[in-house]
Amino acid sequence: MRTILVLNAKGGSGKTTVATNLAGYFACAGAKVALVDLDPQASSMDWLSARPADRPRIAAVEGFRKGVRVPRSTEIVVMDAPSRTHDDRLATLVRRTQTIILPVVPSPIDIRAAQRFLQELRELRHVIKTDVKLATIGNRVREGAFITNNLEDYLFGLTLPSGRKLPFLTLLRSSANYIHAAERGLSIFEFAPIATAADREYWQPLTRWLQNKRSVPEN
């Protein structure tokens, strides 16, 4: 079972948008997917409740409730983490996952918050010992904006606890397509390709990396 955690302690980074679209992507590719909503606000569950019955099935798991488990047949688990995840709760989540995607939006406040959060991740024993696979993406960016360039430079220069470069995969643009998709319980991968071609292009580096063995720990 593959586990992917979309994580950032800062609110407003677009974690739910990334998590729901990842779940939709893998479901459309034929995988048996479970979407685990760890946030009591339950935004991912709201997305699933709006999902049409004729679309590829995604199992709903309210992860903020005790005793909830994903279906045994699940192949890919996408977890939507809540904001303000720190300390013991952060360590518990990291122990349960293979791959972490950290979305960061282009603002000075978010960049500084990401710096602090990445340092907290680097200090987790589980990350250091097992080298949990971690990658960053820019989210809700506007091409050509000065702060977008600052975000790109910052993410490009990050390193892992081992000293290796931390993968910076892509910049996902700010697009009305994500709003339209969320309203209907869909991912952008379920719209006509001509309508979402530009957005899909920015997703390709992320989806390619997730399908590569380099995004999964060796042990």
CATH number at residue 103: 3.40.50.300
In-domain check, residue 115: yes
Q: Which residues contact 23 (CB under 8 A, 6 or more apart)?
A: 33, 35, 58, 78, 187
Q: Which residues contact 48 (CB under 8 A, 6 or more apart)?
A: 35, 58, 60, 185
What's the CA gap between 166 and 115, in Å, rounded? 13
Kindly report the pTM of this predicted structure: 0.92
The rounded mean pLDDT for the chain is: 89
In-domain check, residue 217: no
pLDDT band at 40 (very low <50, low <70, confident <90, very high): confident
Q: Say what the pLDDT of residue 128 is.
A: 53
In-domain check, residue 175: yes
Q: Domain range spanning residue 38?
A: 2-210
- What is the count of structural domains for the chain? 1
User: DSSP letter at 153?
Assistant: H
In-domain check, residue 219: no
Secondary structure of residue 144 in the 3-state scheme: coil
In-domain check, residue 108: yes
In-domain check, residue 218: no
pLDDT, tens digit, 9 for 90 and up, residues 131-159: 678 899 999 998 777 888 889 998 999 88
Q: Say what the pLDDT of residue 129 is.
A: 54
pLDDT, tens digit, 9 for 90 and up, residues 168-182: 999 999 999 999 999
Tokens at residue 124, please?
Answer: 């987790």
pLDDT, tens digit, 9 for 90 and up, residues 60-81: 999 866 667 899 999 999 999 8
In-domain check, residue 85: yes
